Amino acid sequence: MRIIALMNQKGGVGKTTTTVNLGAALAEAGKRVLLIDLDPQAHLTINYGVEPSAEMVSLYNVLIEERSILEAIHEVQANIGLIPSSIDLAAAEIELVSVLGREQILKKRLETAQPDFDYVLLDCPPSLGLLTLNALSVANEVIIPMQPHFLALQGVGKLLETVHLVSRRMNPGLKVAGIVLTMFDSQTKLSAEVVNDLNSFIDSAKGKALPWANARIFRSKIRRNIKLAESPSFGKTILSYDGASNGAADYRSLAKEILGMEGVAVAPGAVKMEGNTERPTLNAQRSTSNVEATVANEAAPPAAPVVPATAAATPVAAAATPVAPVAAEQQGGVKKAKPKVAVLVSPEEAARLKAANKVPEGAAGKVAETVNNPG
């Protein structure tokens, strides 16, 4: 069973659209697919025509009340089961705060129930909180939907650090399968620049003990297509709403690519995870302290000074602060990792640094320049 978390803490990048339609395309290809809605907004649930309500058994009941996963599965289409969300789920993060092993509850429930599916797709909320951690704890793969514009790249460093942290502390088999570019417009120069930057970032991880060492940018790009935005309001997938649209073609193509990876691309084993001090350099930022606190367990050292959320606007300062997990390994005597320099900067910051002759070499400058001087 492949368990894939669709994850990006950035909002509105196409996580739910990808879960809905990739799921539909995998089911069309004959696979049994379970979709789990981890987002209290319940967009995945609504997109499959299910009205979230307190009466129905939802993910909330599974996480909080120990109801079986099997009770919560709603057959929404041939080959597709859905575990719905509801607004109650927003309270789950708070209700679980004092529960031991709170980030592994979903994993335990799935292990106990052993539902019979080929694919489980987890639609994560736009945050790195407890619900996303539950997804990462049980997943074998992460797929990152991303819009290829400058700001979309800004959170990737933090996202990858979270994946890395979970892979080291809780789920060593976790791998980043790849990045799927959504709302893609091949005409823009920026899309091409972002793809180049991502490619060189991924290439530089090849052969290293990192969860994204074998990641790819999926060849199937999801083009901007109005039908994809229309279909949810009819409670339909793109395949049933307009099977001849570009959106349908793109998600069928993505499904084919993912089916083609079965048993090869992200198989764990070749990569040794222990003692690994590598960290993502793409927009290096420290992890959010709540993620560290949840994952890092008792042995964690005092966290490094908290960098405010606005750190993205001052990337050089942010990059100079090693993240807490690295500090933990330094204390444990493992080879010291040098703090990395942020490679992506905001346009304003790029202009300021350029004036002061401090623009980082390579991709960062390119992206920032492109934003500054489109065309």
Ligand X SMILES: Nc1ncnc2c1ncn2[C@@H]1O[C@H](COP(=O)(O)OP(=O)(O)OP(=O)(O)O)[C@@H](O)[C@H]1O
Residues in the chain: 375
Could you tell me which of 297, 283, 294, 298 has the C-alpha nearest to residue 342?
283
Q: By C-beta, is 45 or 191 nearer to Mg ion?
A: 45
Contacts with ligand X, residue ranges (CB under 6 A): 11-17, 39, 41, 43, 126, 182-183, 222, 224-225, 228-229, 232
Euclidean distance between CA atoms 326 and 328, whole angstroms: 5
- The terminus-to-terminus CA distance of the chain in angstroms comes to 46
Q: By C-beta, is 12 or 332 nearer to ligand X?
A: 12
From Mg ion, ligand X, none, which one binds at residue 208 (CB under 5 to 8 Å depending on kind)?
A: none
Buried b (16+ CB within 10 A) or exposed e, 111-137: eeeebebbbbbbbbbbbbbbbbbbbbb
Q: Judge whether 315 and 283 are in contact, CB under 8 Å.
A: yes
Q: Which residue has the tokens 């489980």?
A: 120
Q: Report the nearest approach of ligand X to the CB of residue 329 (Å).
A: 32
Q: Report the nearest approach of Mg ion to the CB of residue 357 (Å).
A: 42
Q: Does 15 bind Mg ion (CB under 5 A)?
A: yes
From Mg ion, ligand X, none, which one binds at residue 40 (CB under 5 to 8 Å depending on kind)?
A: none
Options 35-43, 45-53, 250-258, 326-334: segment touching Mg ion (CB under 5 A): 35-43
Options 42-50, 81-89, 136-144, 246-254: segment touching Mg ion (CB under 5 A): 42-50
Q: By C-beta, is 82 or 296 nearer to ligand X?
A: 82
Q: By C-beta, is 106 or 124 nearer to ligand X?
A: 124
Could you tell me which of 143, 355, 90 has the C-alpha nearest to residue 255?
143
Instruction: List all residues 6 or more positions away from 154 whose beta carbon is below 8 Å from its beta carbon.
Output: 283, 312, 344, 346
Euclidean distance between CA atoms 97 and 188, whole angstroms: 45
Member of 16, 21, 191, 245 binding Mg ion (CB under 5 A): 16
Q: Does 10 bind Mg ion (CB under 5 A)?
A: no
Cα angle 54, 60, 62; round to 5: 115
From Mg ion, ligand X, none, which one binds at residue 229 (CB under 5 to 8 Å depending on kind)?
A: ligand X
Q: By C-beta, is 219 or 224 nearer to ligand X?
A: 224
From ligand X, Mg ion, none, which one binds at residue 183 (CB under 5 to 8 Å depending on kind)?
A: ligand X
Q: By C-beta, is 13 or 110 nearer to ligand X?
A: 13
| Joined tokens for residue 125 | 């909320």
Per CB under 5 A, residues contacting Mg ion are 15-16, 43
